[in-house]
A and B are shown apart, each in its own frame.
Chain A
Amino acid sequence: MTAKTRASRAGASTDRIEKRVVLRAPRARVWRAISDATQFATWFHVKLDGAFVEGIVTRGQTTEKGYEHLKIEMQVQRIEPERYFAYRWHPYPIDPKVDYSNEPTTLVEFTLEEAAEGGGTAVTIVESGFDRIPLARRAEAYRMNDGGWSGQIKNLERYVA
């Protein structure tokens, strides 16, 4: 896997996940894939009801096999063309019977820059705010997602091999 993830296991940084990935594609191309809701939907495996607009909630559902019933809501925070895109959401709402709307959200940020490493575009993805998500929720998400995600990762390994 080319993507590297840092999920620090101690201290304040357990609140966030940070990932940096270098893409062999021009910045404008990467920006479209992230900020255009239609393109975002294809790689994020969701179906969305509208474009991304600052201050507006984009609603949709996942298209992940077996999880099609799950609704998602992306509260778009900031759009800075070809540089920065941020939204808040309820991380992985896995139980359709539970109303997550009163629970805290996490912040997802995409930052784009020119890659120093032989051209291309570096994308940093940060998801933060896990401190505020109740432990019971995380335990439940872990329990319910485990099988599904192990399968996903196997698929991915086949795909990139």
Chain B
Amino acid sequence: MPVFAALADTTRLRLLRRLSAEGPLSITRLSEGTGVTRQAITRHLYALGDVGLVRRARKGREQIWDLNAKRLGIARRYLDQVAAQWDVAAARLKALVEGPEAG
């Protein structure tokens, strides 16, 4: 699954937001108040793990999950960069059409 598709699911997005706001959390904590089963939350975490957005670690006997911030940053910066390229191109288009038209 491509990384952006992994981000397109609301449950997965919610998981990422919580990990981002609260730091590493156990599956138990991540399931609380979601109305989604632990099994489903686990599946979503593995989907996010497969594209490198989250990482699994162990704390005592409990499994905890954490954001892989580096990976998230790549996906985001790439889009920012493409957007910046369009900014530059659009400014050149503007300069062209607002100036005199060459024969």
For the complex, is B21 an interface residue (Cβ under 8 Å from A)? no
Nearest-Cβ distance from residue B77 to partner chain A, whole angstroms: 5
- Complex contact B88–A153 (CB within 8 A): yes
- Cβ 8 A contact of A43, one of B7, B51, B92: B92
For the complex, is B80 an interface residue (Cβ under 8 Å from A)? yes
Q: How many B residues, CB 8 Å from partner?
A: 37
B-facing mask of A18-32, CB < 8 A → 1, else 0?
Answer: 010101110001101
For the complex, is A116 an interface residue (Cβ under 8 Å from B)? no
Distance of A32 Cα from B101 Cα, bound (Å): 10
- Cβ 8 A contact of A11, one of B7, B52, B89, B101: B7
Nearest-Cβ distance from residue A106 to partner chain B, whole angstroms: 9
- Complex contact B83–A138 (CB within 8 A): no
- Complex contact A135–B76 (CB within 8 A): no
For the complex, is A70 an interface residue (Cβ under 8 Å from B)? no
Distance of A25 Cα from B100 Cα, bound (Å): 10
Nearest-Cβ distance from residue B97 to partner chain A, whole angstroms: 4
List the B side residues contacting A138 at CB < 8 Å: 74-75, 78
Nearest-Cβ distance from residue B94 to partner chain A, whole angstroms: 5
Distance of A152 Cα from B85 Cα, bound (Å): 9
- Complex contact B89–A14 (CB within 8 A): no
List the B side residues contacting A134 at CB < 8 Å: 2
Give chain B's interface residues, CB within 8 Å of chain A.
2-5, 7-8, 10, 13, 51-52, 71, 74-98, 101
Known: A25-B97, A125-B90. 5 other contacts (CB 8 A): A11-B10, A19-B86, A42-B96, A91-B82, A159-B95
